[in-house]
Amino acid sequence: MAVAVKTKKEFVGVVKSDKMDKTIVVAVETTTLHPLYKKYVRRIKKLKAHDETNDAKTGDRVRVVECRPISKEKCWKLAEIIERAK
């Protein structure tokens, strides 16, 4: 019997805030096609992610992956820092 393997969701976004201890706020931008007007609409979702080492700073481009709930609003964790802020 084959077991289905669930892959965890992952997003790439920009760190908007690093003021909390071991937590960053990441803004993830997606573009979706509006069903009626056929125009691309930009959507921005802000996710709270766990940053164990407090390594990411505001403006960094990061990759976050889904994880178990760590707190009420935090169920993402920092996977890697793709690009440092200039």
Whether this prediction's pTM lies above 0.75 is answered by: yes
What is the pLDDT, as a whole number, of residue 5? 86
What is the pLDDT, as a whole number, of residue 81? 98
Domain range enclosing 47: 10-83
What is the pLDDT, as a whole number, of residue 1? 76
Tokens representing residue 14 in the block = 């920009």
Could you tell me if 46 and 16 are in contact, meaning their C-beta atoms sit under 8 angstroms apart? yes
* Furthest CA-CA distance within the chain: 51
Count other Cβ atoms within 10 Å, centred on residue 3.
Answer: 4
**How does pLDDT run along the chain (86 residues), one tens digit per residue?**
788 888 999 999 999 999 999 999 999 999 999 999 999 999 999 999 999 999 999 999 999 999 999 999 999 999 999 999 98
Strand partners, 7: none
Could you tell me if 68 and 77 are in contact, meaning their C-beta atoms sit under 8 angstroms apart? no
What is the pLDDT, as a whole number, of residue 2? 80
**At 45, which CATH number?**
2.40.50.140
- What distance in Å separates the CA atoms of residue 13 and residue 3, rounded to the nearest whole number? 32
Number of domains in the chain: 1
Domain for residue 3, yes or no?
no
Domain for residue 5, yes or no?
no
